[in-house]
Structure 1
Amino acid sequence: MSMAFLSRPVVVRVPATSANLGPGFDALGLALTLYDEVEAQVTAGGVRVEVSGEGEGDLPADETHLVVRAMRRAFAVLGGQPPGLALRCRNRIPQARGLGSSSAAIVAGIVLARALTEGGAERMDDAAALVLADEIEGHPDNVAPCLLGGFTIAWTGDGGAAAVRREPSPDIRPVLFVPEERGLTEVARAALPKTVPHGDAAFNAGRAALLVHALDGDPGALFAATADRLHQDYRAEGMAGTADLVASLRAEGVPAVVSGAGPSVLAFGVGAWTPRPVAGWRVLPLDVDLTGARLELD
């Protein structure tokens, strides 16, 4: 299969995401209006990466950068590699905070590779892009809303990852509480038991179903719908500040959950509730992103 590449740069904007949303472990995700932007261009040779904003000075500037690695995987699926790449990353999504920064990098890389390849969209549609993103990330709950926007229900079957996209009620008001300290997904996953009581699994199945209903148009059900017994309590010891904030907000009647693997907290505004300042935490009132990864041509 012959390959031809665009010579002009392309830019993609990818949203932050919050996964699990309480009971929907590894399945439910929400795209949020906080974005990374990545510009990429095919060059005559080599790899150059510039990073500004979140991760500046910490992230690699070579082939090991996650966006580059995702682009390489996507180019391989598309049929070949370009001679060189230049990237400029403008990051606003906090790193290692449970807000899908790695998923954003992976989705950005796949979408950029597809856009820089002549006929890329015909060779790799969104369904195939989601499968590849899940293979790189290891679970689809963040990559699905990042790619598709809105509220997503994701799963993995015989053909790989798949997702259903839904548009939440416009009355949904997400608020992020982002701490200064970082967390690692692999550490949070290591805290989970290999088995859980049948009653807890049944509890979460009911609450996850209720959460879909609540997000679709009944925000009043969000408090009950965001209750969880599968993962948050097991992770609490390693994220005491996060657990305390979730408990404090829920004591006020606010639907609050650990965002992804943490340590950030996602709350949903209900009624007249206004988020309060919390020492050591950034408070970010946001909206639900409805577009997902959005490509712009320079």
Structure 2
Amino acid sequence: MIVRVPASSANLGPGFDSFGIAWQLYNEISFQLSDETEILGCAEGYQNEENLALRAYRRVLERCGIREEGGVSIRFGKTSIPVSRGLGSSAALITAGVMAANELYGLGLSRDELFLLATEVEGHPDNVAPALYGGLSVSAMAGGRAVTRRFPVSDKLFFTALIPPFELSTALARSVLPESVSRADAVFNVSRGALVLRALGDGDAELLAFAMDDRIHQSYRATLIDGFSAARIEAQECGAAAICISGAGPTLLCVSGNPDFPARMETALSLALPGWEMRTLTPDLDGAKIAAL
């Protein structure tokens, strides 16, 4: 069987560890019951027991009290989500693993139950929520339990990812953040987060230009992204209404109300930051699917 999972961008400026949106950019991973466990089609460094797809697969079996007989063959097929670039590659693996275990063992778990199990493995719900459900989501943790809800995204907005030619680990991106923030900064993010949701739903690029700002994480993480300032300046000059770091980075997400923005940005990026890649993104509204049995 093959599981297809979308990429995702978390945070979206002020929505730190809460907001997330899924994209029509997919990884396809096949799972098949086997005599012994093997992982194929990915870098050798990921072909081990720590592979997140395998860990998530086994977490489901463990929580359901099932003893694994034999193993599972996991094969990476089409993998369009770049690794460690802030586009939800880890969440995609985890989502694929929980869905595969549910399907192969006929467990009948609901998508909500799979969401809770995926969050256990990931540690936070901001990427696994859009990966599983699709669309724009807002998630929160309460007593170790994740809660998520979807919000609309207008088709009047155009999304573009600026992807650097280097990785940035989530652990490193978290290590530079302060342990606490001021009340003023907390209020700043909460108020703008609410406006971001309204702007995305209404397709209001002008409101988004004001609201997609942050005082909790982006200024710290920007220091880890070589070329951040140059990319941001180029995006602004090309007409981006709003720019934020996608997830933990290093990818930058640009939002515009102008359909011509991607073409202008591609030309500017190739001149200003050789090696960076630009991808136009369209929201995925369906989430992860069993693509083939």
**Do they superpose with TM above 0.5?**
yes
Q: What is the match of residue 229 of structure 1?
A: 215
| Alignment partners' CA distance in 2, 1:32 and 1:292 | 9
What is aligned with 1:84? 71
Comparing 69-78 with 273-282, greater Cα deviation is found at: 273-282
Tell me the equivalent position of 2:248: 261
CA distance in 2, matches of 1:164, 1:132: 17
- Supply the RMSD in Å over aligned alpha carbons: 1.6
* Runs of 4+ that moved beyond 2 A: 56-64, 246-253
| Match 1:112 to one of 85, 89, 100 | 100
Distance, in Å, in 2 between the alignment partners of 1:246 and 1:88 is: 37
Q: Secondary structure of 2:282's partner?
A: coil
**2:57–2:98 contact (8 Å) kept in structure 1:** yes
Structure 1 position 187, deviation (Å): 0.6
1:192 correspondence with 2:182: no
User: Cα 1:110–1:184, aligned 2, differ >3 Å: closer, same or farther?
Assistant: same
Local SS of the residue matching 1:76:
helix
Q: Please, which moves more after superposition, 165-174 or 210-219?
A: 165-174
- Displacement of 1:113 after TM fit? 0.4
Structure 1 residues 118-129: aligned runs within 5 Å: 118=106, 120-121=107-108, 124-129=109-114
Q: Which residue of 2 aligns with 1:27?
A: 18
Q: Which of 270, 281, 289 is matched with 1:294 structurally?
A: 289
The Cα of 1:149 is off from its aligned counterpart by 0.2
Cα shift readout 1:152-207 (whole Å, capped 9, x = no counterpart) = 00001136111001231122321111111100111111111112122111111111
Which of 37, 44, 47 pairs up with 1:47? 37
Kindly state the Cα deviation for residue 250 of structure 1 after the two structures are TM-superposed: 3.7
Unpaired runs of 5+ in structure 2? none
* Aligned positions of 1:96-245 closer than 5 A: 96-118=84-106, 120-121=107-108, 124-158=109-143, 160-220=145-205, 221-245=207-231
CA displacement at 1:41 relative to structure 2: 0.9
Q: 1:193 & 1:243 partners in 2: Cα distance?
A: 21
Q: 1:243 to 1:103 in 2, by over 3 A?
A: farther
- Give the TM-score normalised by structure 1: 0.89
Residue 73 (str. 1) matches residue 71 (str. 2): no
CA–CA separation in structure 2 for the residues paired with 1:97 and 1:154: 21
Separation in 2, partners of 1:192, 1:74: 32
AA in 2 matched with 1:214 = A
With 159-168 and 185-194 compared, the bigger mean Cα shift is at 159-168
Residue 223 of structure 1 contacts residue 253 of structure 1 at CA under 8 Å; is this kept in 2?
no
Three-state SS of the structure 2 residue aligned to 1:72 is: helix
Q: TM (normalized to structure 2)?
A: 0.91
| Whole-angstrom distance in 2 between the partners of 1:172 and 1:250 | 16
| Separation in structure 2 between the aligned mates of residue 222 and residue 41 of structure 1, nearest angstrom | 44
- How far 1:285 moved relative to its partner? 0.5
For residue 58 of structure 1, report the CA deviation from its aligned partner.
Answer: 4.1
Matched, 1:285 2:280: yes
Amino acid in the other structure paired with 2:175: A
Partner SS, residue 86 of structure 1: strand
Aligned residues: 281
Q: CA shift at 1:73, angstroms?
A: 0.5
Q: Distance in 2 between matches of 1:32 and 1:49?
A: 26
User: CA 1:204–1:244 in 2, change beyond 3 Å: closer, same or farther?
Assistant: farther
Once the two structures are superposed, what CA deviation does each residue of 1:75-103 show, in whole Å capped at 9, x if it has no partner?
11222124211111122110010111001
SS at structure 1 position matched to 2:254: strand
Deviation for aligned residue 1:240: 3.5
Q: Deviations over 1:31-80 (max 9, x none)?
A: 0111000111112x2111112xxxx3344223332111110001112221
Q: Tell me: CA distance 1:269–1:199, structure 2 relative to 1, closer, same or farther (3 Å).
A: same
The letter of the residue matching 2:256 is G
Other structure's SS at 1:162 match: strand
237-246 or 221-230, which moves further after superposition? 237-246
